[in-house]
């Protein structure tokens, strides 16, 4: 933990919290014009106007609303606003799945829709034999046991409760669950407490995600709501929204996969409810 | 493609060590690079693909324009209640076990980071991209103190090897060709030559793998700080930031105080917008939210997390209500990508941490108005930046405001007299009416001076033809017309 | 109706043809053109250079010239923007603010005035050529003009409009910027001219004469004698 007063506290400079806050308060005494709401001059279509309603954030309410019940309405009265402007997402599940699938394709995510659990198993076995997995990691003992039976020739290890980072770095793949999948952006949302830590999904060269259709949510708004409903104000300390395999365009803006993180991201979405 | 001998040369790494006047440097470098056609074509090619992808992504939005207004409203709310949200953020993240340090300026921040490093016997540091770190010369300072500092973002890694500052706040190495990068890697890493971006990327990947695992400290920036939940949010594509902050036992994050947003839900709007404006993606590869060091129910994570909130004259900008919206910036780099000035003079000519329109607007505030006013003058005020900015910062008007402020405080005597005379002249229709005959009178004389240093409009005629004045000005034609109105045909 | 013409100094001195074409067009449409002869310059050069104090005299002079005009039409988007957008800002907090604000909504750029105020899209002009159109930045971004000039050009007989790549990129003129930073300005102009030449158009049309001066200056220096015309000049070929 952080060295505190009983050790060498004096080595740390004190910081300027009050000075900075004082400067901020002084600066904010003059209100800023709302330049972003300025009427846009548009001679080309004189009728044109930005809709003025709903744009101001109703932040007037207190910030203690988290104490209230964690229902959608109580948490964020202004939620619907963002949705009005963002890319539209189908309401129904098949629509969400097909949006997710098409985005996965652009992202070069290997997306597999499996109607049943047994099909998902064979997909995993196929991946394991194609890539000749020797060692893989997963996030829990339970999954470790299940995966060991599915993949008999692979050494399955778990990051729970501890693991060696050097060993993880040499693993062939990682297989994890996720908090949710996000249709609007084709993303996977993982958290460190639920999905095996901070590095499991980024260190090995291939990250495989197993998810059920019920975990597919519409957009980021829904994903954050899901987290806030699941954890209340006690959110996991590390959340990552993963959109496609690791990528870079730093050399001549040409897309290359696998810059530092996984070169490959596979998402296996299972339509069936879990076996009891 | 091979290394081109006329590849743009960057100024020396540490601008503060350079005693020359920034305005002179700017002129020299800009004049040099604008004539470099190789540079021009690299940048045009690199950005061509960006425009296509960005437009594609924008079109997916139900209303990109309204999304901009909404995003700007979020940042307006945050910046105009900065004291409230900063305290909320700091309290929340401290409650989660992180240590928050408020730094008035760069040297306070550096001292703190050095103290953390000394206290914990740090030797190796892995760094993911942070422009705020660049702003306070973090890497150089740590390296000078004897620490091994490795940049992990591929672009930053490349410019670090070249001992150059980043060329662009989002694409640090966009001015280099694969040939140049290949020979750089050959020289510095001893790797075989390659013409494939993919192979070159893998060389860097291999070179950095062990660095993540060996590092004693990881340093990152943050794109957002969420007051409601006490989280920082890091946006990246490569995964290098996740590795840099997830593996080493200490995580230091440095961020400007303006990075605050009020609520977690605000990211539902801002993350897609950042990705769209920044690189034409619907969402950036990894968006990671971190609210503290390792907890007992986690298998991994740093033991310590230090959050440095940096002011460094941001409060000076905050105090200018007119330009306060410049603090809304989410550093997406979109304004650079569309700026015709940036595309022609290149990122290094600016001589600043933040290039392009946003850099020209904020540098005079973050450093000094009179020394950096030339950046605001070097613009045609075309407004492409303001039009593209996802948080609707009125960038090109702020360039105008900077000009006004600079010359109000310290006018250039010659220009002042010139404009004073101009003003008098233009208030008098009598004097103005003399312009046309005078123009005709002097034109033949001036034509003789063309191509000589005596030409009063040499700055124009050196590279461009000047129109011949017509036989009569409109006013004269109008009077003539009034005397004998044309008979209406048809 | 009576329409007041605002002819910026620049067009008055170098491109009288453009302004004259507007007079012809408006008269053909049966309107009375009023040209306050005392007008000079809108004050944009000192304003854009940062010398706001020195811009106020000329600006006020212009405001007074058009005090009683109902519609003020300008052949330049840039100067139109000065009157419409920047005067209120220039005089903000002074006793002239009300006058400036009162002037602003009466100011129109020529092509939008035809299309949106007069509802005219076809002037019966014919001008056979392959043309490309450059959007002046101030017209485009301060006044939001994009479609009106294209609508008008579409109805010109024989004119084939070829859009250049990056039509919305600045030509690099920028007023005093062009002489303060000649290299940057020229480089920007060269990029612009490259996209113009790419279209192999035989005529460049714009709604801002200052852009045309820059584009023409560079094209001619390159030895490409492509005519650069103000949109009014094309529309008045009836
Ligand atoms: S000013 Fe706007 S466009 Fe430029 S980097 Fe900042 S947010 Fe992006």
DSSP C45-101: HHHHHT-HHHHHHHHHHHHHHTTT-S-EEES-HHHHHIIIIIHHHHTTTSTTHHHHH
Count CA within 13 A, CB hemisphere, residue A256. Answer: 26
Q: C145: nearest CA in chain A? A: A44
- Looking up residue B231, the CATH number of its domain turns out to be 3.40.50.10420
- d(C-alpha B402, C-alpha B399), whole Å: 5
Report CA(A229)–ligand 1 centroid distance (Å).
33
Ligand 1 atom having least distance to the Cα of B361: 1
Give contacts of A43 with chain C, Cβ < 8 Å.
Answer: 108-109, 112, 116, 143-145, 148
Q: Please, what's the b/e burial string for B120-147 (b: 16 or more CB within 10 A of its CB; e: otherwise)?
A: eebeebbbbbbbbbbbbbbbbbbeeeeb
Q: Do domains C2-116 and C121-235 have the same CATH topology?
A: yes
Structure confidence at residue A274 (pLDDT): 66
How many whole angstroms separate alpha carbon B187 and alpha carbon B183?
6
CATH class for the region spanning C2-116? alpha beta
- Which one of B299, B316, B333 terminates a domain? B316
Helix (H, G, I), strand (E, B) or coil at B202: helix
Average pLDDT for chain C: 92
Is A64 in contact with A75 (CB distance < 8 Å)? no
Instruction: Tell me, in angstroms, the distance from the centre of ligand 1 to residue C50's CA.
Output: 23
Is the pLDDT at A9 greater than 60? The verdict is no
Subunits with 3+ Cβ pairs within 8 Å of A are B, C
Q: Is B359 inside a domain boundary?
A: no
Identify the CA nearest to B228 among candidates A63, A68, C139: A63
Tell me if chain B has a CB within 8 Å of the CB of C78.
no
Q: B30 and C7 in contact by Cβ < 8 A?
A: no
Strands C157-161 and C126-134: parallel
The count of structural domains within chain B is: 2
Query: Which tokens sit at C193?
Result: 């001219």
Distance CA A248, CA B238 (A): 6
Residues with CB under 6 A from ligand 1: B 277, 329-335, 358, 388-391, 393, 395
Residue B145 backbone phi and psi in degrees, to 5 = -80, 0
Bridge partners for C132 per DSSP: C204
B–C interface: beta-carbon pairs under 8 A: 200
Mean pLDDT value across residues A232-246: 95
Which atom of ligand 1 has the smallest separation from the CA of B334? 3
Rounded to the nearest angstrom, the minimum Cα separation between C147 and chain A is 7
Eight-state DSSP code of residue C146: S
B309 in any annotated domain: yes
Q: Which residue has the tokens 């004082």?
A: A22
Distance B339 CA to ligand 1 centre (A): 11
| C59 to chain B, closest Cα gap in Å | 9
> Which residues in chain C are closer than 8 Å to A45, comparing Cβ atoms?
116, 144, 147
CA dist C85 → A145, B95, B397, C105, C144 (Å): 70, 49, 11, 9, 12
Task: Report the neighbours of C using a cutoff of 3 or more CB pairs below 8 angstroms.
Answer: A, B
Residue B267: alpha-carbon gap to chain centroid: 22
CATH architecture of C121-235: 3-Layer(aba) Sandwich (3.40)
How many CB atoms neighbour CB C119 within 10 A? 7
SS3 of residue B63 by DSSP: coil
C56-108: pLDDT as tens digits: 999 999 999 998 899 999 999 999 999 998 999 999 889 999 999 999 889 99
For residues C181-186, give the mean pLDDT.
93
HSE-CB for C238 with a 13 A CA cutoff: 21
Rounded to an integer, what distance in angstroms lies between the CA atom of residue B16 and that of residue B14? 5
| Rounded to 5°, angle at Cα A185 from A179 and A190 | 20
Q: How far apart are CA B102 and CA B311, in angstroms?
A: 8
Q: Tell which residue, B205, B184, B291, has the closest CA to residue B245.
A: B291
Can you tell me whether residue A207 is helix, strand or coil?
strand
Count of positions (residues) in chain B: 490
- Rounded CA separation A190/A241 (Å): 6
Taking the C-alpha atoms of residue B354 and residue B356, their distance in angstroms, rounded to an integer, is 7
Closest CA to C89 of B380, B397, B395: B397
CA of B359 to the centre of ligand 1 (A): 9
For ligand 1, the distance from its centroid to the CA atom of residue B375, given in whole angstroms, is 16
Regarding an ipTM greater than 0.90, the answer is yes
Whether B323 maps to a domain, the answer reads no
CA distance C225 to C220: 5
Contacts of C108 in chain A (CB under 8 A): 43
- Ligand 1 atom closest to Cα of B357? 4
Q: How many CB pairs under 8 A join A and C?
A: 30
Contact in structure between B32 and B6 (CB atoms under 8 Å):
no
Residue A88 dihedral angles phi and psi, to the nearest 5°: -65, 150
Which DSSP state fits A250?
T
Check: CB of residue A194 under 8 Å from CB of residue A236.
yes
Which residue among A15, A235, A242 sits closest to B291, beta carbon to beta carbon?
A235
Please list the residues that pair with B101 across neighbouring strands.
B308
Q: C68, exposed or middle or buried, with CB in 10 Å at 0-12, 13-18, 19+? A: exposed
**Chain B neighbours, 3+ Cβ pairs < 8 A:** A, C
Residue B275 lies in a domain: yes
Place of tokens 């009157």: C83
| φ and ψ of C102, to 5 deg | -75, -30
pTM of the model: 0.91
Task: Report the atom number in ligand 1 closest to the C-alpha of B278.
Answer: 8
User: Cβ atoms within 10 A of the Cβ of C150, count?
Assistant: 18
Residue B239, domain member (yes or no): yes
- Dist. CA C144 → ligand 1 center (Å): 21
What confidence score (pLDDT) does residue A268 get? 96
Q: Residue A73 — very low, low, confident or very high, per pLDDT cuts 50/70/90?
A: very low
C229 - beta bridge partners? C205
Q: What angle do CA A80, A84, A89 make, to 5 degrees?
A: 95
Of the candidates B268, B294, B316, which is a domain's last residue? Answer: B316
- Three-state secondary structure call for residue C234: helix
Q: Do A44 and C84 touch (CB under 8 A)?
A: no
Contacts of C146 in chain A (CB under 8 A): 44
Q: In whole angstroms, give the CA distance from residue B430 to residue B445.
A: 24
Dihedral pair phi/psi, residue B254, rounded to 5°: -120, 130
In a domain, B31, yes or no: no
Cβ-defined contact of A246 to B288 (cutoff 8 Å): no
CA-based nearest distance A43→chain C, Å:
6
Q: Which domain holds residue B86?
A: 64-316
Asked if C52 and B408 touch (Cβ cutoff 8 Å), the reply is yes
Task: Supply B475's token pair.
Answer: 């006013």
Largest CA distance in chain C: 52
**C-alpha angle B302/B308/B310, rounded to 5°?**
160
Averaged over successive runs of 10 residues, the pLDDT of chain B (490 residues) comes to 41 50 92 91 91 94 90 93 96 96 96 95 95 95 96 95 94 94 94 93 93 96 96 96 96 97 95 96 96 94 96 95 95 95 94 95 94 94 94 94 92 89 87 80 73 76 84 88 68
Q: How many alpha carbons fall within 13 Å on the CB side of residue B284?
A: 28
What pLDDT sits at residue B446? 72
> ω before A161 within 30° of 0 (cis)?
yes
Considering the domain boundaries, does residue B118 fall inside one?
yes
Structure tokens belonging to residue B153: 């973002």
* Confidence band for A241, pLDDT divided at 50, 70 and 90: very high
List the domains of chain A with CATH numbers: 93-270 (3.40.50.10420)
Q: Where are the domains of chain C?
A: 2-116, 121-235
What distances in angstroms separate CA A150 from CA A116, A171, B162, one per listed residue? 15, 18, 49
Q: What's the pLDDT score for residue C161? A: 94
Distance CA B469, CA B290 (A): 66
C-alpha span between A162 and C227 (Å, rounded): 75
Which chain A residue shows the shortest CA-CA distance from C144?
A42
Instruction: Check CB contact of C144 with chain A, cutoff 8 Å.
Output: yes
Structure tokens at A180: 């949710």
Question: Rounded CA gap, B283 and C114, in Å?
Answer: 43
Residue nearest to atom 4 of ligand 1 (CA): B335
Minimum CA distance residue for ligand 1 atom 3: B389
* pLDDT value of position A68: 40
pLDDT for residue B50: 93
Residues B296 and B440 placed together within one structural domain of the fold: no
Pairwise CB contact (< 8 Å): B240 & A79:
no
The reply to whether C109 touches chain A by the CB within 8 Å rule is yes
Which ligand 1 atom is the nearest neighbour of the CA of B395?
1
Q: Which residue of A has its CA nearest to C86?
A: A41
Domain boundary among B316, B340, B357: B316
State the smallest CA–CA distance between residue B129 and chain A in angstroms: 13
The residues facing A247 across adjacent strands are A257
**What number is the average pLDDT over the span A222-243?**
95
Q: Token match 């020797």: residue? A: A134
- For residues B300 and B248, what is the distance between their CA atoms, to the nearest angstrom? 10
Q: Residue A245, Cβ neighbours under 10 Å: how many?
A: 24
Q: Phi, psi (5° rounding) for residue A6? A: -75, -15
| Rounded-to-10 torsion of CA A37, A39, A40, A46 | 140
Beta strands in B76-175 (DSSP E): 99-103, 124-127, 148-151
Contact C129, C202 (CB under 8 A): yes
For chain A, say whether C140 makes contact (Cβ under 8 Å): no
Percent of chain A with pLDDT over 70: 80
Report the C-alpha gap between B364 and B370 in whole angstroms.
7
- B26 within domain boundaries: no
**CB B217, CB B122: distance < 8 Å:** yes
Pairing of strands A238-242, A173-176: unpaired
Q: Would the CB atoms of A57 and B262 count as touching at under 8 Å?
A: yes
What does pLDDT average to over chain A?
84
Q: What residue in A sits closest to B317 (Cα-Cα)? A: A27
Q: In angstroms, rounded to a whole number, what is the distance separating the alpha carbons of residues B223 and B278?
A: 12
Residues A42-62: tens digit of each pLDDT: 555 544 443 333 333 333 333
């Amino acid at each position: 933990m952080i060295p505190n007063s009983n050790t060498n506290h004096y080595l740390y400079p004190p910081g300027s919290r009050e000075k900075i806050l004082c400067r901020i308060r002084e600066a904010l005494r003059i209100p800023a014009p709302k330049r972003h709401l300025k009427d846009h001059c548009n001679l080309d279509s004189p009728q044109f106007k930005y809709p003025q309603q709903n744009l101001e954030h109703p932040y007037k309410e207190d910030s203690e609303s988290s104490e209230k019940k964690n229902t959608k309405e109580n948490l964020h009265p202004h939620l619907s606003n963002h949705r009005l402007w963002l890319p539209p997402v189908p309401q129904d599940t098949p629509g969400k799945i097909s949006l997710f699938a098409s985005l996965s394709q652009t992202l070069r995510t290997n997306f597999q829709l499996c109607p049943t659990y047994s099909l998902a198993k064979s997909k995993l076995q196929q991946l394991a034999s194609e890539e000749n997995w020797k060692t893989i990691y997963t996030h829990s003992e339970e999954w470790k046991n299940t995966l060991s039976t599915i993949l008999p020739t692979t050494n399955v290890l778990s990051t729970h409760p501890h693991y060696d980072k050097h060993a993880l770095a040499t693993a062939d793949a990682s297989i994890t669950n996720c908090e949710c999948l996000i249709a609007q952006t084709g993303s996977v949302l993982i958290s460190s407490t639920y999905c095996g830590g901070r590095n499991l999904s980024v260190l090995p060269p291939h990250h495989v995600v197993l998810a059920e259709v019920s975990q597919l949510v519409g957009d980021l708004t829904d994903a954050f709501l899901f987290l806030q409903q699941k954890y209340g104000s006690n959110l996991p300390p590390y959340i990552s929204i993963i959109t496609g395999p690791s990528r870079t365009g730093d050399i001549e803006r040409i897309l290359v996969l696998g810059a530092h993180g996984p070169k490959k991201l596979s998402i296996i979405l299972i339509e069936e409810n879990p076996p009891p | 493609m091979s290394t081109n001998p006329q590849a743009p040369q960057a100024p020396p790494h540490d601008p503060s060590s350079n005693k020359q006047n920034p305005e002179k440097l700017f002129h020299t470098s800009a004049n040099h690079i604008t004539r470099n056609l190789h540079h021009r074509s690299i940048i045009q090619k690199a950005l061509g693909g960006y425009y296509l992808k960005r437009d594609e992504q924008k079109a997916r939005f139900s209303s990109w324009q309204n999304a901009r207004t909404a995003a700007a409203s979020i940042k307006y709310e945050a910046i105009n209640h900065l004291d409230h949200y900063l305290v909320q953020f700091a309290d929340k993240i401290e409650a989660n076990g992180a240590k928050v340090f408020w730094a008035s300026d760069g040297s306070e921040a550096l001292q703190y980071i050095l103290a953390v490093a000394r206290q914990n016997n740090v030797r190796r540091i892995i760094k993911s991209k942070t422009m705020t770190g660049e702003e306070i010369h973090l890497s150089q300072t740590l390296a000078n103190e004897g620490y091994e500092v490795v940049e992990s973002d591929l672009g930053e890694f490349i410019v670090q090897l070249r001992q150059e500052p980043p060329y662009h706040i989002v694409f640090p190495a966009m001015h280099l060709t694969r040939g140049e990068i290949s020979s750089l890697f050959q020289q510095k890493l001893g790797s075989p030559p390659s013409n494939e971006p993919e192979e070159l990327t893998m060389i860097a990947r291999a070179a950095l793998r062990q660095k993540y695992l060996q590092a004693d400290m990881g340093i990152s920036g943050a794109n957002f700080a969420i007051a409601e939940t006490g989280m920082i949010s890091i946006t990246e594509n490569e995964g290098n930031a996740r590795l840099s902050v997830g593996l080493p036992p200490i995580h230091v994050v440095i961020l400007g105080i303006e990075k605050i947003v009020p609520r977690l839900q605000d990211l539902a709007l801002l993350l897609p917008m950042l990705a769209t404006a920044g690189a034409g993606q619907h969402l950036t590869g990894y968006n990671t939210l971190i609210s503290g060091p390792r907890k007992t129910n986690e298998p991994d994570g740093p033991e310590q997390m230090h959050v440095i909130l940096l002011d460094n004259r941001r409060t000076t900008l905050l105090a200018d209500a007119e330009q306060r919206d410049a603090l809304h910036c989410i550093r997406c780099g979109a304004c650079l990508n569309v700026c015709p000035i940036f595309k022609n003079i290149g990122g290094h000519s600016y001589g600043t941490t933040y290039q392009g329109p946003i850099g020209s607007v904020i540098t005079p505030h973050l450093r000094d108005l009179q020394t950096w006013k030339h950046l605001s003058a070097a613009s045609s005020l075309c407004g492409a930046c303001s039009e593209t900015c996802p948080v609707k910062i009125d960038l090109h008007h702020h360039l105008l405001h900077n000009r006004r402020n600079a010359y109000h405080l310290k006018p250039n005597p010659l220009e002042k007299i010139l404009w004073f005379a101009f003003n008098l002249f233009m208030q008098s229709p009598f004097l103005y009416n003399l312009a046309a005959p005078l123009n005709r009178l002097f034109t033949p004389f001036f034509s003789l001076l063309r191509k000589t240093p005596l030409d009063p409009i040499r700055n124009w005629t050196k590279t461009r033809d000047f129109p011949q004045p017509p036989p009569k000005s409109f006013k004269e034609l109008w009077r003539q017309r009034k005397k004998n109105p044309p008979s209406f045909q048809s | 109706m009576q329409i007041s013409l605002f002819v910026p100094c620049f067009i008055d001195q170098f491109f009288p043809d453009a302004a004259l074409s507007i007079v012809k067009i408006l008269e053909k449409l049966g309107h009375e053109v009023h040209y306050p002869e005392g007008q000079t310059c809108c004050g944009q050069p000192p304003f854009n250079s940062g010398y706001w104090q020195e811009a106020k005299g000329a600006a006020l002079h212009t405001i007074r010239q058009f005090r009683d005009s109902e519609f003020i039409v300008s052949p330049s988007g840039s100067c139109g923007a000065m009157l419409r957008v920047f005067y209120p800002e220039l005089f903000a907090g002074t006793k002239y603010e009300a006058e400036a604000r009162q002037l602003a909504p009466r100011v129109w750029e020529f092509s939008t005035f035809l299309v949106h105020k007069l509802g005219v899209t076809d002037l019966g002009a014919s001008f056979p050529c392959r043309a490309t159109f450059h959007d002046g930045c101030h017209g485009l971004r301060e006044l939001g003009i994009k479609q009106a000039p294209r609508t008008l050009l579409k109805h010109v007989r024989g004119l084939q409009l070829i859009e250049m790549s990056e039509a919305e990129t600045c030509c690099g003129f920028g007023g005093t910027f062009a002489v303060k930073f000649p290299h940057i300005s020229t480089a920007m102009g060269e990029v612009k001219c490259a996209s113009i030449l790419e279209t192999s158009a035989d005529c460049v049309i714009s709604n801002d004469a200052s852009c045309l001066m820059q584009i023409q200056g560079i094209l001619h220096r390159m030895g490409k004698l492509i005519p650069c015309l103000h949109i009014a000049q094309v529309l008045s070929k009836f």
